[in-house]
Amino acid sequence: MSDFVTLSVEQAGKLSLAVLEGNGFSHDHAAAITRSVVAAQSDECHSHGLYRLIGCVQTARNGALDTHAEPEIIDQAPAITKVNAHKACSLLSFEMGLPFLIEKSRACGISVLAINNSFHFSALWPEVEAISSQGLVGLAMTPTHAFVAPTGGTKPLLGTNPIAFSWPRPGRTPYTFDFATSMIARGEIELHRRAGKPIPDDWAIDKAGVPTTDATKALEGAMLTFGGHKGSALSTMIGLLAGPLIGDVLGHETHAASEDAPGKPHHGEIIIAFCPETFLGADAQKHLEHAEDLFEGIIEQGARLPSQRRFEARERSRENGVTIPKALHDELVALVVKR
């Protein structure tokens, strides 16, 4: 018997909807979450794919996630839109706020979408690529719970605090990156733990502050930032921009829900869009073409543009479907049955 299960992209979407709606999520929230996790799974971003449904359901069952709240759109300023998620998942808030972000970006040249009071678990690249697909430049940042020690420290204080960027390239896949400011996304360590695999010794430290290859000890201790003090400073910047600047909390002021307590898993996200046409007027196309010189120079050296493997995986998934561990598939199916 195979240890893996292959689903078509459509089947993966139906399974996700069944899990979420079967556990009390409204159709709109379930659909927004499904679009994100299926996109990640299709791009073989396993740590943010179907596996994330388990955390969504657990958080909802623990009473920390409103599965029906309607996002509240707030027209804050000519270039700023705020969305109060009201303790629901951030993804529906993003989708509802996106048209305002795009419109204001084209009017002002730059626009900000601030999402407050939200539960955020997802990859950021689908959001910035939704922006670049409109011919705009997208940038997104969000804090997480305190999982990461600042450089020189030994205890969790910072989040994995991801940042994502996407530059439009008409007729081509965009230039996109999305990475945690920790050495690796926390979900990758969780997947190593589930698989019983060791992790590299520069990903995390244990409770005593000693580097560890044990995924379980890493999750009990603290993760490390990439690039030492540089990653630590970048993580701090993200925490400030997606926290106090938009009137939300710092990552270390949040914590995950448990069976015993609903926790405080809600925080903010900041998304920024830049409109080349508004910045540059009639010269916009010329300068966008000029940007291609940089991408071509990277490729000419034999280097790879970020996200190229994702885009290749996306094409494979469209043709061959997505493959997940059978244990994960069985766990998701069980969530549907136990509705």
**C-alpha to C-alpha distance for 136 and 138, rounded to whole angstroms:** 6
Given 42, 47, 105, 132, the catalytic residue: 47
Given 95, 127, 129, 188, the catalytic residue: 188
Pairing of strands 137-141, 163-167: antiparallel
> Is there a contact between 181 and 161 (Cβ–Cβ < 8 Å)?
yes
Find tokens 């359901």 and name the residue.
57
Q: Is 133 a catalytic residue?
A: no
Find tokens 């509802």 and name the residue.
96
Given 46, 48, 120, 267, the catalytic residue: 48
Q: With b meaning 16 or more CB within 10 Å and e meaning fewer, what string describes 162-194?
A: bbbbbbbbeeebbbbebbbbbbbbbbbbbbbbe
Q: How many Cα neighbours within 13 Å face the side chain of 68?
A: 2
**C-alpha to C-alpha distance for 317 and 271, rounded to whole angstroms:** 28
> Is there a contact between 323 and 4 (Cβ–Cβ < 8 Å)?
yes
**C-alpha to C-alpha distance for 60 and 24, rounded to whole angstroms:** 8
Helix H segments across the chain? Answer: 9-21, 27-42, 52-61, 90-108, 125-132, 186-195, 215-220, 229-241, 276-280, 284-300, 308-320, 326-337
- Specify the amino acid at residue 96: M
**C-alpha to C-alpha distance for 180 and 225, rounded to whole angstroms:** 9
Pairing of strands 204-205, 222-223: antiparallel
Q: Is 10 a catalytic residue?
A: no
Q: Is 188 a catalytic residue?
A: yes
- Which pair of structure tokens corresponds to residue 318? 């469209």
> Is there a contact between 65 and 52 (Cβ–Cβ < 8 Å)?
no
- Enzyme catalytic residues: 47-48, 188
